[in-house]
Amino acid sequence: MMAGSESEDAFLYDAILTQTDPHRRVMVFSVSGAVHSLQCEHAGSFSGGAVGRLRLPTERHPFVFQIYADQRLRRWQEIDDKEAGRWGWRIGERKFTVQWGVLPGRNGAVITRDTKRLELDIPNDFLARCEQALCDPQLVLKAFISDLCSLSSQFERPREDGYSNNGPAAIELANHYFKQTFEATQAQLPVRKRRGRRPKSQQSGSIRPKSVDSAVDDRQKATR
What would the pLDDT profile of 131-140 be if each residue is shown by its tens digit? 999 999 999 9
Task: Provide the pLDDT confidence category of residue 172 given band limits of 50, 70 and 90.
Answer: very high
What would the pLDDT profile of 98-107 be if each residue is shown by its tens digit? 999 899 999 9
CA distance 195 to 184: 26
In this structure, is residue 116 part of a structural domain? Answer: no
Same domain, 63 and 78: no
Same domain, 141 and 163: yes
Instruction: Kindly report the average pLDDT of the chain as a whole number.
Output: 83
Same domain, 56 and 79: no
In this structure, is residue 115 part of a structural domain? Answer: no
Q: What domain range includes position 94?
A: 74-110
Task: Provide the pLDDT confidence category of residue 207 given band limits of 50, 70 and 90.
Answer: very low
The total number of structural domains in the chain stands at 3
In this structure, is residue 87 part of a structural domain? Answer: yes
Last residue of a domain, one of 67, 82, 102: 67
Task: Provide the pLDDT confidence category of residue 197 given band limits of 50, 70 and 90.
Answer: low
Residue 89 CA: distances (Å) to CA of 75, 83, 95: 4, 17, 6
Same domain, 13 and 53: yes
| Spatial CA neighbour of 64 closest among 88, 108, 29 | 29
In this structure, is residue 118 part of a structural domain? Answer: no
Same domain, 129 and 171: yes
Task: Provide the pLDDT confidence category of residue 156 given band limits of 50, 70 and 90.
Answer: confident
Same domain, 106 and 128: no
CA distance 95 to 215: 85
Q: Is the pLDDT of residue 88 over 60?
A: yes
